[in-house]
A and B are shown apart, each in its own frame.
Chain A
Amino acid sequence: MEKFYLTGTDISPEISLEQNGNLIIKGTSIPENSEEVYRPVLLWLRNYAPNPAPTTNLEVQLDYFNTSSSKFLLEILRIIKQIQDSQKPVLIKWCYYSDDPDMMESGQDFMDILELQMEMIAIPEDN
């Protein structure tokens, strides 16, 4: 499987997906049509999930995302949860700026909906 890489812009995040299990989503996600951005990501993950790396490490570090992106983030986490449910090691880091309680709450929302374990990591504020 080929590595997936998407360069970040001011409206879409940097996304890097590797067969060795390192998955990174970082930046801002406010595209109007989120499906265009996330469809190839979901496709890659659905191919990856049946035969994942020994450990899957997902790191999400978003400054801000719109509600149209949140539906796709939920779907990404749903696929990762399936890997976890099949007894394969999965580590998820949800990184947020320490002065941004809204982003921490967003992570909590995904954990509640999916009954998912994520490590919540407060990083120093970006002022």
Chain B
Amino acid sequence: MDLHKYFLGMETENILLLYKGQVSNELLRSLLKTTEQKLEQMGEKVVIRKKIFNVMVESIQNLIKHVEEHELNANSNAAILAICHSPGYYLVATGNFIPTQDAQDLSNKLDRINGMNRDELREYYQSVLENESLSAKGGAGLGLIDIARKSGEKVNYSLKPINDNLSFFTLRIKVNSHRD
């Protein structure tokens, strides 16, 4: 294993944080802390830090809920999270396995979100929040709508079939930093 190669690769891609493995709330807490420290060192604005937090919290908590609901096995409950910094923006990317039978539904949801402008997203968010309040699990995509609103950019995603049962879902969210 050539660690120097990984080191250079991460430097070239401007990767601030890269994690692969199982996800939990404990892990999320420590990833948030690490990211917070790094962004603070870089002198990043609070509002940008919160937008990056938003993607991390909503996507990882979605994933934890998803793993619990589907009782995915050790091979398919791992995920990857990367935060990259490019001039003018951050890219927060997550990847994880989902049952292929859920892929179409997810894709429809994201296409619908991507088809909306700012005001439509606000109305959609409000109606989903109102209708979902107090339904225990919810999960009709409030997190994804929230991510799209706060990022202010289209949600870039892909779904790649792995085998008959599983697909790999990648989410790439851009957060503009307006400071470079």
The chain A residues found within 8 Å of chain B, CB to CB, are 10-11, 30-32, 35, 63-64, 66-68, 70-72, 74-75, 78, 97, 99-102, 105, 109, 112-113, 125-127
Contacts and interface: CB of A to CB of B under 8 A. Distances in A.
B132 interface: yes
A104 to B, nearest CB: 11
B125 interface: yes
5 contacts: A68-B138, A70-B142, A74-B133, A100-B50, A113-B129
A67 B45 contact: no
Interface string B13-42: 000000000000100010011000000000
B86 to A, nearest CB: 22
Contact of A101 (B47, B54, B122): B47
Nearest to A67: B142
A113 B131 CA distance: 10
Nearest to A71: B133
Interface in B50-86: 50-51, 53-54, 57-58, 61, 64-65
Nearest to B62: A67
A100 B46 contact: yes
Nearest to B127: A113
A63 B53 CA distance: 11
A102 B150 contact: yes
Given A75-B134, A109-B126, A99 B58 contact: no
A70 B126 CA distance: 11
Interface residues of B, number: 31
B46 A71 contact: no
Contacts of B2: none
B126 A71 contact: no
A100 B47 contact: yes
B57 A102 contact: no
Contacts of B99: none
Name, among A10, A30, A100, A126, the residue most crowded by chain B CB atoms within 10 Å (CB to CB).
Answer: A30
A109 B46 contact: no
A99 B146 CA distance: 19
Given A32-B61, A71-B132, A71-B133, A113 B143 contact: no
A33 B136 CA distance: 9
A127 B64 CA distance: 31
Contacts of A113: 126, 129-130
